[in-house]
Amino acid sequence: MTTVVLGLDGGCFELIQPWIDEGMLPTFSRLTEEGAAADMQSCLPPVTCPNWQCYATGTNPGKLGVFWWEAVDEAERKIENRSAAGDFDGTHYWRFFDGDTAVVNLPTSYPPSEIDGIHIAGGPGAEQTGYTYPESLEQELEEKYDYAVHPEKMSLLSGDDPDNKCVPEIYDLIDSRFDVLEDELERGEYGLIHVTVFYLNVLQHFYWDMDVVKQAWERIDERVSRVLEMDELEHFFVMSDHGSNEIETTFRINTWLEQHGYLQTEPSVSDYLHKAGITQERVRPVLAKLGVEWWARRLLPDRVQMLLPDDEGSVDKSAKGDVIDWDRSQAVASGQGPVYVLADDSAERERIVDELIADLEGVTDENRTPVFDQVLRGEDVYSGPHVDRGPDVVLNQAAGVHIEGKIGNDEVFGEPNKWNGENKDTGMFIGYGPAIDKTATLPDMHILDIAPTLLHLHGEDVPERMDGEVHKDIFDAESEPANRDISRVDVEVDIADSQTVKRDVTDRLEDLGYME
């Protein structure tokens, strides 16, 4: 019998509960009534990277060493992508299972790791080939399911055009994930199958609660109903890396830092490109319509691509490092929360952190609504050997706020642009099956708790390194896992995959809107 974990990127009850109440998602209605369902806390910031790895390892970013899609390296004076499998210092929980597992489309897991079973990596990075273990599985996926990691027309996605050609591709990707899941489940060879539906949240980012998003959820609902009827299934879990909500205000953190004297910039090639009218918005659609964008990205040097500004003259990605005056700046931020203080002296760093927190805690929008739910010290958010490499201040964005990380815009506040939906720190969790107590409320469920809870369900020891707790309250009082003691052990598995894959990652993230 198999446990299936369905990961829905950006899934949350805030979005789907009205559709459940209206009878549009009958399978999710069944799961919430006959299983244990709850909101679930994500690690901050609530973003795909690193939260999928937080789930998969049961450890916080301070142990993983990755805090967002990009990392600020003050010593080297550069900003670089951090989202490939080898960037994370952690061990996936299924490596502690006694038996084979199947992992399908886990984001930030490229290149795939060698496991007892199969591993189909999710992006970014997994662009064209080499995304499966064993390698031979890739050809089988493409021949049998027309499997692809990403849609081909991703750069055409726009919230202003609900009929654009990328949406049907995303629906096909959703179906292909479930096709693989059903066939692998039918084999009866695995104790655990994890499958992620990633581009669901991409739709939510661009369309929020529009009909194209509802149709995606209805498709998932129908496919889940088929999985629940399969004889090989014993337990079924639904989880998300974070939640979502509608964007009302965009807050440009680096513009705020610059206006308040924390960030200093200097002229760059991007300024000259902008003056010449060479911008992302003008160049990329032309290349996409000509069908040569894929080739252009591979033929043009990375540095040229990164320096392309947007129509407002702003830059993001690694190009931010070129416009920062590192000698005169005190802080720089990534999008969606992390702020890095630039100071060699520890006393000076502490002074700046205290000053930043005091200044940021009072920030409100034009309607005098607070922009942040919390302004936190990084050391109070994270624990582990990599805390010193992480942000010094973490902003927990308030509901309806999108924190943008670009440098170069003159206005601190703006209206939603590419995105209509933004991440929030409240995701979703559902447990369903014979050992699950459907009356369980799980008020303090955290994404870090899933890995140790599933290990305990399967009778495995829980590694001491995991930060999460076993939620015995999810199990029926008469069930075996509810009456078995939790076993914690000091054990680690050495992951050989240390390769860091950078090719195409930044461009893919820009298509998704993370690197705006």
Query: In this predicted structure, which of 298-307, 396-405, 409-418 has the lowest mean pLDDT?
Result: 298-307
> CB count, 10 Å around CB of 344?
8
CA 374 to each of CA 272, 308, 393: distance values in angstroms, whole numbers, following the listed order = 38, 33, 10
**Whether 377 and 237 share a structural domain:** no
Residue 500 has pLDDT above 70, yes or no: no
**Whether 38 and 176 share a structural domain:** yes
Chosen domain end from 395, 417, 439 = 417
Please state the rounded mean pLDDT for residues 480-491.
95
Q: Which ranges of 300-398 does DSSP label H, i.e. alpha helix?
A: 302-306, 320-323, 346-360, 378-381
Q: Which ranges of 238-393 does DSSP label H, i.e. alpha helix?
A: 253-259, 269-275, 280-290, 293-299, 302-306, 320-323, 346-360, 378-381
Chosen domain end from 393, 417, 441 = 417
**Whether 48 and 177 share a structural domain:** yes
Please state the rounded mean pLDDT for residues 299-310.
51
Q: What are phi and psi of 366, to 5 degrees?
A: -60, -20
Please state the rounded mean pLDDT for residues 139-148.
96
Q: Within a domain: residue 214?
A: yes
**Whether 104 and 48 share a structural domain:** yes
Q: Within a domain: residue 78?
A: no
At residue 166 the predicted structure's pLDDT band, cuts being 50, 70 and 90, is confident
Quick check: helix, strand or coil at residue 28? helix
Which one-letter amino acid corresponds to residue 274?
H
Q: Within a domain: residue 257?
A: yes
Chosen domain end from 389, 417, 445 = 417
**Whether 99 and 212 share a structural domain:** yes
Task: Walk across the sheet containing 372-377 and list its strands.
Answer: 331-333, 338-341, 393-397, 372-377
Please state the rounded mean pLDDT for residues 146-170.
77
**Whether 443 and 387 share a structural domain:** no
**Whether 224 and 158 share a structural domain:** yes
Q: Within a domain: residue 260?
A: yes
**What's the structural domain count of the chain?**
2
Those residues with Cβ within 8 angstroms of residue 119's Cβ, 6 or more apart along the chain or in another chain: 102, 103, 106, 109, 112, 113, 132, 133
HEC per residue, 334-355: CCCCEEEECCCCHHHHHHHHHH
Q: Within a domain: residue 516?
A: no
Domain enclosing residue 234, as ranges: 2-59+86-246+422-506
**Whether 432 and 464 share a structural domain:** yes
Please state the rounded mean pLDDT for residues 34-42.
98
Instruction: Tell me which residue has tokens 């469920």.
Output: 445
Residue 184 has pLDDT above 90, yes or no: yes
Q: Within a domain: residue 81?
A: no
Q: Within a domain: residue 70?
A: no
> Is this prediction's pTM over 0.75?
yes
Q: Which ranges of 48-207 does DSSP label H, i.e. alpha helix?
A: 48-57, 61-64, 136-145, 166-187, 199-207
Q: Within a domain: residue 299?
A: yes
Which pLDDT does position 301 carry in this prediction? Answer: 47
**Whether 344 and 464 share a structural domain:** no
Rounded to an integer, what distance in angstroms lies between the CA atom of residue 334 and that of residue 515? 9
